[in-house]
Amino acid sequence: MTVTIEGKMFGGYLKPDFTSKETGEVTKGKFVVQLMVEQKLKNDEIKNELLDVSVPTELISKYKGNEGQMVQIKCNYMSKEKVTFYGVA
């Protein structure tokens, strides 16, 4: 299952490489797109939230240089807690 996250691109950055303490194996850092997303609350107020979304290396050029623009990112997701879904349209 995938979800699409839409928001204004705030920026992006490359995470540092990660070295496993057990094996010494190095995993390259991923590029992260920072999205400012708006959530409308029950009282009609708007809550802004900054989300970090990692993207595969081959998609970096799609997002670099789009700061301040509305972008959509198709995502898979993971959670350490139960995720609840609800319809919006």
Give how many domains the chain has, as a whole number.
1
Residue type, 53: V
pLDDT in tens, 42-80: 999 999 999 999 998 899 999 999 999 999 999 988 888
pLDDT in tens, 11-29: 999 999 999 999 999 999 9
Examine residue 41 and state whether it is found in any structural domain, yes or no: yes
Examine residue 89 and state whether it is found in any structural domain, yes or no: no
Given a contact cutoff of 8 angstroms between Cβ atoms, the answer to whether 5 and 53 are in contact is yes
Q: Domain of 48?
A: 3-75
| CA-to-CA dists, residue 65 to 12, 38, 58, 70, 80, angstroms | 9, 21, 15, 12, 32
Examine residue 7 and state whether it is found in any structural domain, yes or no: yes
Q: What does pTM read for this prediction?
A: 0.78
